[in-house]
A and B are shown apart, each in its own frame.
Chain A
């Protein structure tokens, strides 16, 4: 078979995956993800456990050690069959806390400690690198099996080069589908669907080879069993230690491997899926393992002595002249390797960005004061970079070790590495007393021992540890020999390392937890995790707010983007029964915001970001009492009462707000009366005075007469304008206005408004930023009235923007039939306490007469917009005063005389 055909097949297969993944992404975006989130897709995505190590290595493993290969699949089977015990709790906690990775889970449980996040991330990278290298190795090895012509293209025989290009290709795929968006809870429908397809391919390939071997090479199951016994070697004897140890190890690995955590916990959307997976995933593993031993036995029988059993899956069909079958098998192996690399690098990249880079960046930013970069782009770039980095590390490991070791042993080294997370993870789920210090101690101790007794020796003698150290220990201390620490000589190296690292890990974890005193946040989180099924609500860790919602909005905007953040704040405000974009800073609101942030950047970072803005959170004794188990039971009883009183609180808050508004309005009304008298009186006085002068006009020159008459004229114009405004407002308020609905172009309207408003403080030079293309919208509305609103807002900006270099941005957005026009200047904006008042009549922020109006402008604007079926609102936190004028693109003809909902202020009049 030619090398080019092989490469073409691979490329075709990858194109197919691309198509599937992007179709799934599109379906998910369009909200048609129903079938994507079916239990079967979930189960199939779990098959990422079966890597190239399974596909090629299991046969080799079976040829070397008989039935022992089954342990790797029996352990996970036990965990899934027993899903009710561990997985159900793990998945529920993960979903409710929007956990993004195993590092995030551990860090969130132990007081949102980033230290633990970093430790786990480093551990997972160290353990993951050899594993990724293993996949690269198996792909490049499988390529070379096919190439029998040594004079072919040089690429065909250079395994390092093949591995390089495979790594590049996989990095590209993962970046394309794993880092498309910064999802609210780190789920990737495209990747998951592609993985599910790969799962089917590898299963079919293995079954095809198996069926061929059992029914076409041998004559059936009984013949195969006879041949198995004939081929059985003495080494195939089941060794009790390894058998038990490996079942345990693989059971741990299925929980702790970062990629398994990603597909099992992070991508889970529903408990029901886990119920299906509890039998379907063991079934998948069963089918995968069923034909491994027959293939191995037939391979040993038919293949020439000395051929590599790890490649029987390919060499056997080739040897028997089944090129098509061999190609299918090759694709199966390719699928197995690629799916593992994609998910593993995605999971590792999430950890690196959430626990190492983003916290570092935040710290640097905190030192250098804030700037308003868009964090989303940063986080995504970091993810992309991390994916490349992780794959690069895998490639480097492959080049260094030369890819010579048998496949199975590398996989097991990684298993022991990630197993170090187990004590901290299980403690997180079941032991409220487990503390951050204990977890950190245990993780570090276990990691060091694993590193010394298994990881470093795995590079082979003379790479990191010399043969002398391996033989007689460092400094000739025999009890420190890496493979027989403290004189344990009877265990094989793998079990030896597993035993020591886990044992010391657990001891350190327990001692650390028992002796240390956890912080309040740790205790709250501990109760939250351990009692997840007993608690209806969440405990709170935010009590004393010190920030304004206005400070939090810009931060949230940097993570979620402006539209989503504003929508979230508005929804939260609505929940509290408030209007506008700024909810009260209640602990509930902070909880919700933190949870939403955690879904994007991980718990520790989210907590740190909030703490930076809000100030350190203080957990009071009351809060701790609330999470203690005794009180929890009483809370159950009072839950209903609480709900009731919550509703009362909300009503009370509404009433209080209305009342405050009424009082302000009453004060305003008094002010208004004196204001209006004053406003009317001033021109009146001068009119009277000057007309008296004119009455006895003897001895007055013509110029003087004209001058006085002009003053009288000007003053009466001023009076008329004031009365006009009042009249206009009253007409608008009572809905008696006649709208003159026409079709107009928004851009022309804005142009007109800008020209008209230029006369206000004409000496100031404003820089305008607008996007003329976006403004090109045809609207059907009362154009004259709308232009009036624009002119008013623009004139206000000209009057009140106090920046030395005044700038004004006009942004137009369309969303389902509505048009939003934002006017944002770069002045100091409007103080928080004044924002609710500016739309009221006769409110002026400055008491001086500099404004030259009666303070009716914005009140009229609001009435106009209500009449046009829209609204004008103040948008806080945009770096200046920002007004959003929104209105429907097509204004329907007026529906009866009903006015838009009156607000309390107007009802009071």
Chain B
């Protein structure tokens, strides 16, 4: 018999927030790896490098990075101390774990 589905954690909100902070830390690492990929696409038979394709690839990675950073910043704002506005959303442990 299946046990009834229950909420496992009480602090789901703050748990999610901390994982988003992890994501913010990981994002630049992944981005760097993606930016280094062109180094491994060396093709010796070509006389000139495939600059056009590589530039499209790099700008695409760049655009995705900006988009992800934008989405993350929307979430992470809540974890920041409200510096000058009067409203004070609940603090979700800005220092991480």
Contact = CB atoms under 8 A, between A and B. Distances in A.
Interface of A: 66-67, 70, 74, 77-85, 225-226, 228-229, 232-234, 236-238, 240, 243-244, 247, 269-272, 275-276, 278-279, 282-283, 286, 289-290, 293, 533-534
A270 B60 CA distance: 31
Given A78-B32, A243-B36, A282-B69, A272 B27 contact: no
Nearest to A226: B52
B38 A74 contact: no
Nearest to B23: A84
B66 A282 contact: yes
Nearest to B84: A270
Given A67-B58, A290-B59, A238 B65 contact: no
A278 B69 contact: yes
The secondary-structure label for the interface of chain B is helix
A282 B65 contact: yes
Contacts of A226: 52
Interface residues of B, number: 43
Contacts, number: 120
A431 B34 CA distance: 29
Nearest to A71: B35
Nearest to A268: B83
B48 A236 contact: yes
A533 B51 contact: no
A269 B82 CA distance: 12
A753 B10 CA distance: 76
Contacts of B39: 238, 240, 243-244
Nearest to A78: B28
Q: Give the 4 A-B CB pairs with smallest separation, nearest first.
A: A82-B28, A84-B24, A232-B48, A533-B95
A244 B82 CA distance: 37
A237 B47 CA distance: 10
Interface string B63-78: 1011111101100110
A271 B77 CA distance: 9
Nearest to B57: A67
A70 B58 contact: yes
Contacts of A533: 94-95
A83 B94 CA distance: 14
Given A77-B31, A236-B48, A279-B69, 12 more contacts: A77-B65, A79-B28, A82-B28, A238-B38, A243-B38, A244-B39, A247-B35, A271-B83, A272-B77, A278-B73, A282-B62, A293-B51
Most chain A beta-carbon contacts within 10 A, residue among B49, B68, B72: B49
A279 B47 contact: no
A234 B55 CA distance: 16
Contacts of B62: 74, 77, 282, 286
Contacts of B73: 275-276, 278-279
A275 B77 contact: yes
A81 B82 CA distance: 21
Most chain A beta-carbon contacts within 10 A, residue among B56, B59, B65: B65
Contact of A74 (B24, B35, B63, B69): B35
Contacts of B68: 81
B80 A534 contact: no
Given A229-B50, A238-B38, A84 B76 contact: yes
Given A78-B31, A247-B35, A269-B83, A275 B51 contact: no
B79 to A, nearest CB: 9
Interface string B41-55: 010000111111011
A229 B32 CA distance: 25
Contacts of A85: 24-25, 28
Nearest to B39: A240
Given A67-B54, A272-B80, A81 B49 contact: no
A70 B56 CA distance: 12
Contact of A81 (B31, B54, B59, B94): B31
A35 B47 CA distance: 54
B84 A229 contact: no
A81 B48 contact: no
B54 A238 contact: yes
Given A229-B48, A229-B52, A270-B83, A84 B36 contact: no
Nearest to B54: A67
A269 B65 CA distance: 26
A81 B28 contact: yes
8 contacts: A70-B58, A77-B65, A78-B35, A81-B31, A81-B65, A269-B83, A282-B62, A286-B66
Most chain A beta-carbon contacts within 10 A, residue among B24, B54, B62, B82: B62
Contact of A286 (B27, B42, B59, B72): B59
Contacts of B29: 82
Contacts of A270: 83-84
Contacts of B51: 66-67, 228-229, 232, 236, 293
A290 B56 CA distance: 10
A434 to B, nearest CB: 20
Nearest to A270: B83
Contacts of B35: 74, 78, 247
Contacts of A279: 66-67, 69-70, 73
Contacts of B54: 67, 238
Contacts of B27: 81-82
B21 interface: yes
A276 B69 CA distance: 9
B43 to A, nearest CB: 10
Contacts of A243: 36, 38-39
Given A286-B62, A286-B66, A271 B48 contact: no
Contacts of A225: 52, 55-56
Contacts of A293: 51, 55
A247 B32 contact: yes
B48 A233 contact: yes
Contacts of B63: 286
Contact of A228 (B21, B55, B77, B80): B55
Most chain A beta-carbon contacts within 10 A, residue among B50, B51, B65, B72: B51
Contacts of A66: 49, 51
Nearest to A66: B51
Contacts of B42: 237
Nearest to B73: A275
Contacts of A74: 35, 58, 62
Contacts of A272: 77, 80, 82-83
Contacts of A286: 59, 62-63, 66
Most chain B beta-carbon contacts within 10 A, residue among A84, A225, A229: A84
Interface string B7-24: 000000000000001001
Contacts of A247: 32, 35
A801 B28 CA distance: 71
Most chain B beta-carbon contacts within 10 A, residue among A85, A243, A279: A279
A442 to B, nearest CB: 25
Contacts of B67: 279
A684 B27 CA distance: 96
A338 B94 CA distance: 38
B48 A234 contact: yes
Contacts of A84: 21, 24-25, 76
B47 A234 contact: yes
A81 B35 CA distance: 14
Contacts of B59: 286, 289-290
Contact of B36 (A67, A79, A244): A244
